[in-house]
Amino acid sequence: MPQPDIALYPIPGLPEIVPGSNLSSALADAIASSELRLLDFDILVVAHKVVSKAEGRIVPLSQVQPSMLANEWADQYGKDPRVIELALREARRVVRMENGVLITETKHGFICANSGVDTSNVPPGCAVLLPEDPDASAENLARSLGQMFKAHLGIIVSDTFGRPWREGLVNVAIGLAGFNPMIDYRGSRDTFGKMMRASIVASADELAGAAEIVMGKTRRVPAVLIRGFSWTDSEGTGKQLLRAASADLFR
């Protein structure tokens, strides 16, 4: 059976989100201003930065005292030692720290640059951290927006990650609620009748990547409505997308 057409709708018009902002209400107002409404089985992709801002995950850099390691490494590569210090504090472990690139494993289990610490699209002199629990953030949005629109929704909280062996950045799902983040084709047969034994597609990451094309980085579009993707109700989480260390050949 063919997959129905999938449509993506940008949701611009959010006010500047600050700690304590009611993000659900702001999103609902922006959706209404776009002459849209959320329907059953819609998926809303929300950039983590507005989630982090609403949850108070903004740090004034003036309050950060860099360690000796952060100072030495930042001085060597022309970085801000306070940002490096935040990245080290947010890390569970340092994966690689060479040639001006800091790759860490965050406390969530993400492998990414600078522990996801970012200084873009935040007030001058500040840095923004990843949400404490992106899955809980997604669940809260799914519940509150679902009640507002009387709809059964999927939510993806997204961030932009680099990829080993590939140039360029892509959006991925760091938090999720409402649906399974993967499509498992194992046990199905391909067009030649061969049994598929290893194909598991990270559909939540694919949806997050598609949404980023609509969001952009400078358009002030922190949310995208995706309609037409076929999914069933599931207690899915972003954690399901993390590969266990025992199955990771590159650790």
Break the chain into its structural domains and give their ranges. 7-56+131-242, 59-127
Average pLDDT along the chain: 92
Confidence of residue 199 (pLDDT cuts 50, 70, 90): confident
Backbone angles phi, psi at 30, to 5 degrees: -70, -35
Per-residue model confidence (pLDDT) at position 101 = 92
Please state which of the four CATH numbers 3.90.320.10, 3.30.1330.100, 3.30.420.40, 3.40.50.150 is assigned to the domain occupying 7-56+131-242.
3.30.1330.100
3-state secondary structure of 217: coil
Exposure letters 219-241 (e unless 16+ CB within 10 A, then b): eebbbbbbbebebeeeebbbebb
Per-residue model confidence (pLDDT) at position 117 = 97
How many Cα neighbours within 13 Å face the side chain of 76?
13
Give yes or no for residue 3 having a pLDDT over 70.
Answer: no
Question: Residues 32-52: pLDDT tens digits?
Answer: 999 999 999 999 999 999 999
- Mean of pLDDT values over 117-131: 94
Confidence of residue 1 (pLDDT cuts 50, 70, 90): very low
Question: Residues 217-231: pLDDT tens digits?
Answer: 778 899 999 999 998
**Fold of the 59-127 domain:** CofE-like fold (3.90.1660)
Per-residue model confidence (pLDDT) at position 220 = 87
Backbone angles phi, psi at 233, to 5 degrees: -60, 135
Q: Is the pTM of this model over 0.95?
A: no
